[in-house]
Amino acid sequence: MERLWTGARWTEGPAWFPAHNTVVWSDIPNDRMMRYDALSGHVGIFRQPARNSNGNTVDREGRLVTCEHGGRRVSRTEHDGSIVTIADRWQGKRLNSPNDVVVRSDGSIWFTDPAYGIETDYEGDKAESEIGACHVYRVDPDGSVEAVVTDMVRPNGLAFSLDEKQLYVVDTGRTHGPQHPAHMRVFDVDDGGFAIRVAQSFGNCPQYIRKREITSQRHEAPPLAEWPRPSLDDDARWQIASADTFFIATHYAGDGATERSAGTDVSHRGGKPGFVRVDGANTLTWPDFRGNAYYNTLGNLYANPRAGLLFVDFASGDFLHVAGDAEILWQDEMQSGFEGAQRLVRLHVREVRRVQRALPAAWCDGETSPTLERTGAWPTA
C-alpha cells in the first residue's frame, strides 16, 4: 500500500476518472474536493467550497455524481462544468444529508441518506430532519425518487455486486448507541427494484386468525417512519395488549445450513385480544397453541434467537415493528395457566419502530375463528 497524499482533515468518496487518469475525493470538514493526477502525481483543489461533499461516483457517461451534506442533495457535474441537482427532496421534504452513491447500469442512481451532516456544523449545517428517518433511495432515469430501504438507523456505504443483482448497505447506527446496529445487509435487486425469493411455502394454519376485509377508505397521506426506540412506549404497549394477531420473522444460516434449510421464515400468530402479554417496556410473552405443527419459527429461534415482530393497526394502517431476542419456555397449559398453550415464547425487546399509514387502505374486522373459543387468557392475580 502506498500513501499518495496527506493533508486533509477527513476524506471520503474517491472516484476514478479513467478518461484523464485522475481521482477526485472529498475533504468533508474542510469543505473542499481534491484531485490527484496519476500521471504527474500532483494533488490540487478540485472544488472549494464544495457544500461539504461526501460520497462520489462516476456515471456511465463519465460525469461526476456527488452526495452533498451541506447542500442536502445529490448533484451531478456536467461535462461543461455546470452542476445540476439530481435529488434533494422526497415526498416534498428535504433530504437529510446524502452520504454515499452508486449508479446502476440501467441509469438509476442509488444513495444513502443518514443524518450525520445535519446533526452538527462539523460536516454540514445543523438542522432538524424533515423526513424524520434515514433511508436508502433510488432515483430512476425519469427523475422519480423512491425510498427502497426504510428500516435502517444510519445507512452509510453501499455497493452493488458485479452482476448488480445484489445491493450491499452498511448500517452504522452504532454511532448513536450500543443498542443500534453496526453491520452490513444485502438485498436482492431485479430490474423492477427489490425481489424476495420464496424457496418454500407452507399452508400456515388459520385456525387462530380473525378474518378481515379491505375497505374503500384510503389513507391519503404517505407512510411516515418514526425514529426507532429502544423500548415500548405507552402507545406501543396499548396496541400490543389489544392485538389479536401479529406476524413474526426469524432467520437461520448457521454452520451446515443448506439452501433449503437456511433463510428467513415469515409466519403469523393469533389469539384472543390480549393473548400477547406486555411484561414491561422490554418484554413480551405469548402462548404457542396446539396445531402449530410447522416448527420453522421455533426451530429458527432455537438456533438463532433474533426475531422481528409486526403488529398491524388495521384501521389506521400503522405498523409497529418490534425487534428482539426470543426464548422458548417449555411450559404447557398446566404450568403456564393459559388454556390451549403447548409452550410459551418470550421476546426481550431491543428496538421498536412505528411506521404510520404503512397500509394504503383501512381494513375492517370480520368473523373470528371458532377455534379461539378453545383458548384461554392469562391468569390474573
Q: Are residues 246 and 190 in the same domain?
A: no
The winner for highest mean pLDDT among 91-105, 184-198, 324-338 is 91-105
pLDDT tens figures, 298-321: 888 888 899 999 999 999 999 999
Q: What is the C-alpha radius of gyration for the chain, rounded to an integer number of angstroms?
A: 25
| Structure confidence at residue 197 as a pLDDT band (50, 70, 90) | low
Q: Grid coordinates standing for 124?
A: 454540514
pLDDT, position 337: 80
% of the chain surpassing 90 pLDDT: 60
| Structure confidence at residue 205 as a pLDDT band (50, 70, 90) | low
Q: Are residues 134 and 265 in the same domain?
A: no
pLDDT, position 310: 97
What is the residue whose three cell numbers read 452493488?
Answer: 160
Higher pLDDT, 218 or 75: 75
pLDDT, position 46: 97
Residue 206 covered by a domain: no
The mean pLDDT of the chain is: 89
* Whole-angstrom distance, CA of residue 327 vs CA of residue 345: 6
Q: Of 163, 194, 225, which marks where a domain is finished?
A: 194
pLDDT, position 297: 84
pLDDT tens figures, 136-162: 999 999 899 999 998 899 999 999 999
pLDDT tens figures, 28-49: 999 999 999 999 999 999 999 9
Q: Which residues face 155 on adjacent strands?
A: 171
Closest to 265 measured CA to CA, from 206, 307, 302:
307
For 261, counting Cβ atoms within 10 Å of its Cβ (0-12 exposed, 13-18 middle, 19+ buried), the class is middle
Higher pLDDT, 381 or 20: 20
pLDDT, position 19: 86
Predicted TM-score (pTM) of the model is 0.55
Cα atoms in the 13 Å half-sphere on the side-chain side of 140 = 9
Q: Are residues 184 and 230 in the same domain?
A: no
pLDDT tens figures, 365-379: 888 888 888 888 888
pLDDT, position 72: 97
In DSSP notation, 42-111 reads -EEEEESS-SSEEEEEE-TTS-EEEEETTTTEEEEE-TTS-EEEEE-EETTEE-S----EEE-TTS-EEE
pLDDT, position 192: 58
Closest to 225 measured CA to CA, from 147, 140, 292:
147
Q: Are residues 189 and 252 in the same domain?
A: no
Q: Are residues 22 and 111 in the same domain?
A: yes
Higher pLDDT, 196 or 6: 6
| Structure confidence at residue 239 as a pLDDT band (50, 70, 90) | very high
Q: Are residues 37 and 169 in the same domain?
A: yes
Q: Of 139, 165, 194, which marks where a domain is finished?
A: 194
Question: What residue type is 354 in one-letter code?
Answer: R
pLDDT, position 200: 59
- Has residue 261 got a pLDDT over 80? no
Could you give the C-alpha distances from 78 to 27, 64, 75, 84, 197, in angstroms and in order?
Answer: 21, 7, 10, 8, 39
Q: Are residues 73 and 168 in the same domain?
A: yes
**Is the distance from CB of 321 to CB of 346 less than 8 angstroms?**
no
| Structure confidence at residue 196 as a pLDDT band (50, 70, 90) | low
- Has residue 12 got a pLDDT over 80? yes
Q: Are residues 228 and 343 in the same domain?
A: yes
**Is the distance from CB of 173 to CB of 112 less than 8 angstroms?**
no
Q: Are residues 153 and 242 in the same domain?
A: no
Lowest mean pLDDT among 78-87, 251-260, 288-297, 353-362: 251-260
Any residues with CB less than 8 A from the CB of 35 and at least 6 apart, and which? 22, 23, 24, 43, 44, 45, 46
- Has residue 110 got a pLDDT over 70? yes
| Structure confidence at residue 276 as a pLDDT band (50, 70, 90) | very high
Q: Are residues 190 and 295 in the same domain?
A: no
Parallel/antiparallel/unpaired status of strands 53-58 and 277-280? unpaired
- Has residue 193 got a pLDDT over 60? no
**Is the distance from CB of 159 to CB of 168 less than 8 angstroms?**
yes
Residue 200 covered by a domain: no
Q: What is the total count of domains within the chain?
A: 2
The winner for highest mean pLDDT among 173-177, 220-224, 323-327, 374-378 is 323-327
- Has residue 227 got a pLDDT over 80? yes
Q: Of 164, 194, 224, which marks where a domain is finished?
A: 194
**Is the distance from CB of 98 to CB of 132 less than 8 angstroms?**
no
Number of Cβ within a 10 Å radius of residue 2? 3
Domain range spanning residue 17? 11-194
**Is the distance from CB of 344 to CB of 271 less than 8 angstroms?**
no
Q: Are residues 39 and 185 in the same domain?
A: yes
* Whole-angstrom distance, CA of residue 95 vs CA of residue 118: 10
Residue 199 covered by a domain: no
Higher pLDDT, 204 or 39: 39
* Whole-angstrom distance, CA of residue 121 vs CA of residue 33: 18
